[in-house]
Structure 1
Amino acid sequence: MPSESDSSSEKIVGALGTLSTGTPVSEVARRLLDLFTTGSIEPGTRLPSERQLAASLAVGRSAVREALAALEVLGIVDVRPGSGTYLRGEASELLPQTLRWGLLIGEKNSSELIELRAGLEIYVARLAATRASDAARAALRAHVQEMRGAGTDLAAFARADLNFHLDLAEAAENATLHDLLHVVRSLLQVYADRAVHSREEAEVAVREHEAVTEALDAHDPDAAASAMAAHMVTAGERLARFVESD
Structure 2
Amino acid sequence: MPAFSDSSSDAIVSSLVAVPAGTPVSQVAHRLLELFTGGDLEAGTRLPPERQLAASLGVGRSAVREALAALEILGIIDVRPGSGTYLRGSASDLLPQTLRWGLMIGEQNTDQLIELRAGLESYTARLAAGRVDAALIEALRGTITAMEGAQEDAAAFVAADAEFHAVLARAADNSMLTDLLDVSRTLLRVYNDRAVHDQEDMRLAREEHAEILAALEAADGDRAASAMVAHMATARSRILRASGTAD
Q: For 1:39, what is the secondary structure of its paired residue?
A: coil
The answer on 1:89 being equivalent to 2:98 is no
Distance 1:129 1:75 in 2: 35
Q: What residue in structure 1 maps to residue 205 of structure 2?
A: 205
Alignment of 1:160-179 (within 5 A): 160-179=160-179
Which ranges of structure 1 fall in alignment gaps of 5 or more residues? none
Distance 1:112 1:21 in 2: 36
Q: For 1:86, what is the secondary structure of its paired residue?
A: strand
Distance 1:125 1:137 in 2: 12
Q: What residue in structure 1 maps to residue 218 of structure 2?
A: 218
Distance 1:103 1:220 in 2: 33
Q: CA deviation at 1:104?
A: 2.3
Which ranges of structure 2 fall in alignment gaps of 5 or more residues? none
The answer on 1:116 being equivalent to 2:104 is no
Q: CA deviation at 1:69?
A: 2.8
Distance 1:45 1:233 in 2: 45
Q: Could you list the runs of 4 or more consecutive aligned residues of structure 1 that deviate by over 6 angstroms after TM superposition?
A: none
Alignment of 1:1-246 (within 5 A): 5-244=5-244
Distance 1:234 1:185 in 2: 16
After superposition, the CA RMSD in angstroms is: 2.2
Q: For 2:102, what is the secondary structure of its paired residue?
A: helix
Distance 2:60 2:99 in 1: 26
Letter of the aligned partner of 1:16 in structure 2?
A: L
Deviates more, 1:211-220 or 1:91-100: 91-100
Superposed CA offset, 1:143-170 (max 9, x none)? 0111121012111111101111111111
Q: In 1, are the aligned partners of 2:4 and 2:45 still within 8 Å (CA)?
A: no
Distance 1:21 1:184 in 2: 37
Q: In 2, are the aligned partners of 1:95 and 1:179 still within 8 Å (CA)?
A: no
Closer, same or farther in 2 for the Cα pair 1:41/1:188, shift >3 Å?
A: same
Q: In 1, are the aligned partners of 2:4 and 2:46 still within 8 Å (CA)?
A: no
Closer, same or farther in 2 for the Cα pair 1:147/1:110, shift >3 Å?
A: same
TM-score (norm 1): 0.90
Q: CA deviation at 1:119?
A: 0.5
Q: For 1:85, what is the secondary structure of its paired residue?
A: strand
Q: CA deviation at 1:56?
A: 3.1
Distance 2:241 2:50 in 1: 46
Q: CA deviation at 1:60?
A: 4.5
Q: In 1, are the aligned partners of 2:144 and 2:164 still within 8 Å (CA)?
A: yes
Distance 2:194 2:26 in 1: 31
Q: For 1:8, what is the secondary structure of its paired residue?
A: helix
Closer, same or farther in 2 for the Cα pair 1:140/1:104, shift >3 Å?
A: same
Q: For 1:193, what is the secondary structure of its paired residue?
A: helix
TM-score (norm 2): 0.89
Distance 1:65 1:20 in 2: 17
Distance 2:23 2:231 in 1: 43
Q: In 2, are the aligned partners of 1:111 and 1:240 still within 8 Å (CA)?
A: yes
Closer, same or farther in 2 for the Cα pair 1:111/1:26, shift >3 Å?
A: farther
Letter of the aligned partner of 1:79 in structure 2?
A: V
Distance 2:206 2:98 in 1: 34
Letter of the aligned partner of 1:97 in structure 2?
A: Q
Q: In 2, are the aligned partners of 1:26 and 1:105 still within 8 Å (CA)?
A: no
Closer, same or farther in 2 for the Cα pair 1:139/1:4, shift >3 Å?
A: closer
Q: For 1:194, what is the secondary structure of its paired residue?
A: helix
Deviates more, 1:63-72 or 1:77-86: 63-72
Q: CA deviation at 1:23?
A: 4.2
Q: CA deviation at 1:36?
A: 1.4
Q: For 2:78, what is the secondary structure of its paired residue?
A: strand
